[in-house]
Amino acid sequence: MRSSLLALAAGFLLAATAPEVAFRDVARKAGLTDTIVSGGPKKNYVLEVNGSGACWLDYDNDGYLDLYMVNGATLDDLQGRTRQRTTNHLYRNNGQGAFIDVTAKAGVPGRGWGFGCVAADYNNDGRTDLFVTNFGPNLLYLNRGDATFEDVTAKAGVGGGDIWHAGAAFGDYDLDGDLDLFVPGYLDFNIARPELKTCDYRGVKVHACGPLGYKGAPDALYRNNGDGTFQDVTTQAGVADRKLYFGFQALFEDFDGDGRPDLFVGNDSNPNYLYKNKGDGTFEEVGLAAGIAVSGDGKEMSSMGLAAGDYDADGLIDLFVTTFANDNYILFHNDGGGFFTDVSYPAGVGEATVPFLGWATFFFDYNNDGRLDLFCANGHVYPEVDGVLKETYRQPLQLFRNAGQGKFTDVSREAGLLSLAPQSARGGSFADFDNDGDLDIIVSLMDAPPLLLENTGGNRANWLRVVLSGVRSNRMGVGARVKVTAGGAVQHAAMRAGESYLSSNDPRLHFGLGAADEADVEVRWPGGGLDRIEGVKANRQITIRQSSPPPRYTSAQFL
């Protein structure tokens, strides 16, 4: 009796004092010490304030995710007044917690002023390729399979010309089994003769004014021809951005559950676009009617980062958008039927985000409890606010734990994020870089080396990782919907390539299972086909290859 009581007490104490899942920065230890450059320290031009992205990809197929960090440049570099010393960086994960710079060897230095990256297997050869967006022509790096890449931009026809390109995304919009590419255009910036503007931000004189006051740059949709080339189908597909909005980040996602990937484009200071896929190779812009073009108060937002995920486990993919300071970030709940409602405040992510300016963001299950949590990387655009306004240039990261019932709780402090020195963060993505069963985070910073936040404790709960291998569908399974049932709870996830802010997340779908030690997994493939595996044991990674027989399910039965 006495020993039982003691055991009970011990258990109670353990539960009461069990440490919260937390993150610690291991970037330096991991060898990620290169500074990300984004213009000069004073940020005199809008070109200098948007930062760059971070992409996870297993480029050498050794089972460990490698990291590609995009780097900017300076105005002098672009104008040819100085020799550019910055490059993008490909870091190979050595599986021992360290990253080794293999940029030169791999042949992916980038060019000029880099912004975003997307990692995806566009040619279905089982090797992850890289698309890099720039100020100026973009770059498509084909993975040769021998730890090197080849610049095939010109051959592929996806350079995009001398405009400012932002956060691209791959998706198979025409469901022909290969990945198409959408690249938003941001704004028309005159690199040869940039205008030093001065404008007023809440009483403070700042220079990096924009984007209002500039002309927008056009978006582009490239259809994959399946032979290593792409065709610009922007106009005929109906996504031509005639109003020249300032496109920041795009993502493909089947929001209305009709089996066809739609396209969302977050526009800065303009209404967002939601292009509904009509299934005939064209799209119809329905953002306003869907309730996702502007905030719930009818205001246009500075839509920076995008996070897509089914946070309330109702089978519908919701969307979270980070915005400018003094505006709350917006959580759009997918109501079904192609309609959304702004639930930022009732969900608990409204008020907490008002003081900050957000960029990279994603839904991910950091504590493996089976519910999608939410991460935001923050940082101001105007260094001039420091010491003048209550807003600061460097800001803390934020983590919101999904508390269930559609609500989130700010756990930034408990997760150790407030122990980190505030930074002006921009790009970011998640991945289990050390393959220990919990999700870690990379954050690209302004004028500083990145943060690599190792998750400590998330793997105390069970998990399951699913790698998709398409056969008739695209090889990566982009556009696939995965449903995991474990312990009586159901989770839905979708495979995407390109989201957050200028970044790509872990291409393996991670599911927290809580205490459940096995799960049933169901995959609905883009274009049709359903595969199901039951009784998968927890705490492992499985690969689901698209089964050979033709699909028995029509697209109408997707959900």
Partner 1 sequence: MRYAGAIWLALGCWAAESAADLLRQAERHLDKEQFAEAEALLQRALKIEPANVEALYRLGYAGFRQRKLAQARASFTSVVKIAPPAYNSRYFLGRIALLENKPTEAIQWLVPVVNSRERVFDAAAQLSGAYAAAGEPRKAVAPLQAAIAQNPWDHSLYYRLGQLHQRLGEEALARDAFQQSTRLRNTSREDVEILMNVAQAAAGGSSAEALRRGAPILGRADADPNALVALGVIYGNASLHAEAMEAFARASKRDDKFFQAHFNYGLALLKAGRAREALPPLARAVELLPQSQDANTALGLAAVMNQKYREAVAPLEEAFHADPADNRVRSLLATAYLRTGAPAKAAGLLREVSESASADAASLLLLVEALNAAEDPEAALQTAQSAQKRFPNLPQAHMAVAQQLARLGRYQEARPAFQQTLQLAPGHSEAELGLADTLQKAGDHAAAAGHYRPALAGGSPAVRLAARLGLARSLVAQRQLELARQTLEEGLAEHPTDITIRMELSRVYARLGQKERAAEQTRIIEQLRAGAAR
Q: Which amino acid is at 77?
A: D
298 binds partner 1, rule: CB under 8 A: yes
Instruction: Please identify which residue in 341, 409, 435, 485 interacts with partner 1, judged by CB under 8 A.
Output: 341
Q: How far is the CB of 385 from partner 1 (least distance, A)?
A: 11
Give least dist CB 461 to partner 1, A. 29
343 touching partner 1, by CB under 8 A? yes
Nearer to partner 1, 157 or 296 (CB): 296
Task: Work out whether 328 is an interface residue with partner 1 (CB under 8 A).
Answer: yes
Neighbours of 419 (CB within 10 A): 13
* Site for partner 1, residues 199 to 238, rule: CB under 8 A: 202-203
Sole binder of partner 1 in the list 147, 191, 240, 389 (CB under 8 A): 389
Which residue type does 186 have? Y
Considering the complex, state which of residue 288 and residue 490 has its C-beta at the smaller distance from partner 1: 288
Handedness of CA 98, 106, 500, 334 (dihedral sign): negative
Provide the residue count of the chain. 559
User: According to the binding rule CB under 8 A, does residue 286 interact with partner 1?
Assistant: yes
390 near partner 1 (CB under 8 A):
yes
Minimum separation from the CB atom of position 355 to partner 1 (A): 8
Q: 288 or 313: whose CB is closer to partner 1?
A: 288
Sheet of 54-57, strands arranged across: 54-57, 66-69, 89-93, 99-101
71-102 burial code (b ≥16 CB/10 A, e <16): bbbbbebbeeeeebebbbbbbbbeeeeebebb
When the beta carbons of 298 and 550 are compared against partner 1, the nearer one is: 298
Q: CB under 8 A: which stretch of 88-96, 113-121, 293-301, 522-530 binds partner 1?
A: 293-301
CA distance 333 to 339: 8
The answer to whether residues 311 and 371 touch, using CB atoms and an 8 Å cutoff, is yes
Using H for helix, E for strand and C for coil, what is the string for 352-420?
HHCCCCEEEEEEECCCCCCCCEEEEEECCCCHHHCCCCCCCCCECCEEEEEEECCEEEECCCCCCHHHC
Nearer to partner 1, 389 or 471 (CB): 389
Measured distance CA(51)–CA(39) in Å, rounded:
9
Interface with partner 1, residue 337, by CB under 8 A: yes
Among the listed residues 290, 478, 482, 495, the single contact to partner 1 using CB under 8 A: 290
387: contact with partner 1 by CB under 8 A? no
Question: By CB under 8 A, is residue 493 in contact with partner 1?
Answer: no
Binding mask 162-201 for partner 1 (x = CB under 8 A): ----------------------------------------
Q: Assess 403 for contact with partner 1 (CB under 8 A).
A: no
Contact 529, 547 (CB under 8 A): yes
Q: Find tokens 């460990």 and name the residue.
A: 64
Task: Give the number of residues in contact with partner 1, rule: CB under 8 A.
Answer: 24
Token look-up 């404008």 returns: 199
Question: DSSP string covering 4-47, please?
Answer: HHHHHHHHHHHHHHPPPPEEEE-HHHHT--PPBP-S-TT--SGG
Q: Kindly tell me which residue out of 7, 104, 212, 289 binds partner 1, with binding defined by CB under 8 A.
A: 289
- Binding of partner 1 at residue 291 (CB under 8 A)? yes
Among 107, 296, 449, 457, binds partner 1 (CB under 8 A): 296
Nearest-angstrom CA–CA distance, 444 and 463: 27
| Burial call 238-258: b when 16+ CB within 10 Å, e when fewer | bbebeebbbbbbbbbbbbbbb
Residue 395 binds partner 1 (CB under 8 A): no
Q: Which residues bind partner 1 (CB under 8 A)?
A: 202-203, 286, 288-291, 293-294, 296, 298, 328, 337-339, 341, 343, 345-346, 350-351, 354, 389-390
